[in-house]
Structure 1
Amino acid sequence: MGSQTATQIPVIDLTGENSKPGSSYWVSAYKKIRQALEQHGFFVAEYDKLPLELHDNILSDVAELFELPYETKIQNTSDKPAHGYIGKIAAIPLHEGMGIDRATHLEECEKFTKLMWPSGNDRFCGNAHNYSKLMAELEQMVVRMVFESYGVSSYYNAHVETATYLLRFLSYQKPEIDEANLAFVTHTDKSFISILHQNHVLGLELRTADGNWVGFRPSPTSFVILAGDACMAWSNDRVKPCYHRVIMKGKEARYALGFFSFQRNKLIEPPKELVNEDHPLQYKPFDHMGLLQFYDSVDVRKRAEHTMTKAYCGVST
């Protein structure tokens, strides 16, 4: 399966008046979003609400963060899989990641900042919190459009009220001579929705419905929106989660931010409107954190497979 040009990536303009609920463009956009998520599991949102200064500053902050000593970075721990520090792994030696759980809450950004910089770093804390709030607005817009496209808007408010957000800082170093350039293995996310944003360095690749890999060309106003496994289950298998990977080919480090939405304190299940004779029920109600724990417990070679969600909460046939 060869790579093809990035022109295959669906791009949807959510800037300015185009992001106004109820407008004719809004209706057109949510139809395109649904089509993209059902066919490929991803699209690129053009979104202008992130100021260029914040874009530049937060990516500079990410680079500064990963320059901290290893002994400092490993203090970012969590009892939730893939929420704390990840690095120094033989299979992906070029990658490091760190996270702030519940990042839309200022106190969580303050706790993380104090852990990394005991003497304080107000700039980092403020940038992380402001970035998270803007990404939450984008995520909620996309989710609202998805719910409206399926005619289940009545479930939207309850969904947002139980949503929580993880902000992850991601570093991908350039490979040394004779070192493999695979910086992150092929996988699907276990989130409901993921938003990826990055610096100018290429490396992210997305798998299309026909099995081809397409490379993403970043810009300050471009955000990759991915459907996660939880969204697949919620949609009763209508939405396809996106397989993606990172292949480093340049001579610079790639710094990125991942913003992931999860459901807490509420079971995820398909709305009754999405279950019918043509689409019989595929998933039992499940706990989102339980799904993460299940993935973390299985063989590492199987964790990338979204079919593991079926093993966790699928309806027996």
Structure 2
Amino acid sequence: MGSLTVLPKLLVVDFNKDGMKPGTSSWISAGKDIRQALEQHGCFVALYDGISSDLNDRIFHSADDLFNLPLETKLKNINGKPYHGYVGQIPIVPLHEGLGMDYATTLEGAQSFTDIMWPNGNESFCTTSVEFARSVAKLDHIVIKMLFGSYGLDEMYTDAHIESSTYLLRYLKYRAPEADESNNAFPSHTDKSFITILYQNQVSGLEIRTRDGDWIDVEFPPSSFVVMAGDACKGWSNGRVLSPSHRVTLNKEGKGTRYTIALFSFLSKIVQVPEEMIDEENPLQFKPFENVDLLNFYATEAGRRSQDILKDFCGV
């Protein structure tokens, strides 16, 4: 009789707990847990009540509105940065479609995207998107403060990082597969962001690859998020943090369309390993780099084929 492999469960962090304030024992303890989770699995589940039930309903209604637009309109979502605009109509991933709103925590960013999609205006879409992005960005800020504090970095360093973060909001849709279609909705990849925060409707499908190479199904409890490290965070941490491969696989007996609303943070300043992360046991692995240059490299054939993108892009 074969031995049963027990797959790890992802860490669940409750950010709604009373007393979760900077400097408190619960804050420091959560920071340590988050750091270990990001080093081991590259992600964790966050319970965070920043999205009211009303905003939850509105953001998924907004997703419906957006994906119901004609294809020629959606194709106008163009961005000079790779994978920031419309992605869809790809024969090898027919179930997936996504659109991106850059600088989504700013009214200008949201308005600019909305004006392209709805030249006659769609105020509720614009305000809902900004409200959602800003709420989730607050969670990103808390995670950064905890993670950086856990590594012994000071408040000034942390604040400078947060100030130079920009946010891309991506509306992602995965339609249910037909009987004769593969249920591979999106292939395995790592994100090029610093941090990615995912929020989904009730249709599951996200799978994460652990450091040991096991694939685990991610369960989203109600009003929860998955917080995931991207390649920029792995580079910044001198390889300590895992940027996990992840994919979307839909159940053939699925519950319909899967919507994910994803907030990606990118750094507008140079990504550089802090001196505190370098010692004899952890010699410098990566040269300083621009986050957008990492994206651009990923968009090349060499970048897409790379088995270790950070090493190939900026390895020492």
Normalised to the residue count of structure 2, the TM-score between the two structures is 0.94
- Give the alignment of 1:1-317 within 5 angstroms: 8-153=9-154, 154-249=156-251, 250-264=254-268, 266-299=269-302, 302=305, 305=307, 307-315=308-316
CA distance in 1: counterparts of 2:125 and 2:222, whole angstroms: 19
Preserved contact between residue 199 and residue 218 of structure 1 (Cα < 8 Å) = no
Question: Kindly tell me: are residues 4 and 255 of structure 1, through their superposed partners in 2, closer, same or farther at Cα, counting changes over 3 Å?
Answer: farther
Amino acid of the structure 2 residue aligned with 1:137: K
Deviation, 1:61, is 1.0
Q: Distance in 2 between matches of 1:147 and 1:182?
A: 35
Q: Distance in 1 between matches of 2:240 and 2:48?
A: 25
Distance 1:75 1:40 in 2: 36
Structure 1 Cα separation of the partners of residues 62 and 249 of structure 2: 23
Q: Secondary structure at the match of 1:112?
A: helix
CA displacement 1:194-228 (0-9 Å, x = unmatched): 00001000111112232222212224421000000
Whole-Å Cα distance in 2 between the matches of residues 296 and 262 of structure 1? 16
Query: Could you give the per-residue CA deviations for residues 254-292 of structure 1, whole angstroms, max 9, x where no partner exists?
Result: 01111000011x211100111110100001111110010
CA distance in 1 between counterparts of 2:160 and 2:264 reads 18
User: How far did residue 229 of structure 1 move?
Assistant: 0.5
Return the offset for 1:18: 4.9
Deviates more, 1:208-217 or 1:240-249: 208-217
Please tell me whether the aligned partners of residues 50 and 136 of structure 2 are also in contact (alpha carbons under 8 angstroms).
Answer: no
> Alpha-carbon deviations, 1:230-253, whole Å to 9, x = none?
111101111011111100111400
Give the CA RMSD over aligned residues: 1.6
TM-score by length of 1: 0.94
What is the rounded CA distance, in whole Å, between the counterparts of 1:241 and 1:225 in structure 2?
11
Deviates further, 268-277 or 5-14: 5-14
CA distance in 1, matches of 2:263, 2:139: 10
Q: Is the 8 A contact 1:15 1:49 kept in 2?
A: no
Structure 2: distance between partners of 1:165 and 1:313: 23
Moved more, 293-302 or 92-101: 293-302
Q: How far 1:93 sits from its partner (Å)?
A: 0.8
Indicate conservation of the 8 Å contact 1:173/1:252, yes or no: yes
Alpha-carbon offset, residue 136 of structure 1: 0.8
Q: Indicate conservation of the 8 Å contact 1:6/1:217, yes or no.
A: no
The question of whether the paired residues in 1 share the 8 Å contact of 2:42 and 2:228 is answered with yes
Q: Which runs of 5+ in 2 are unaligned?
A: none
Go from structure 1 to structure 2 and tell me whether the alpha carbon gap of 1:198 and 1:145 turns closer, same or farther (over 3 Å shift): same
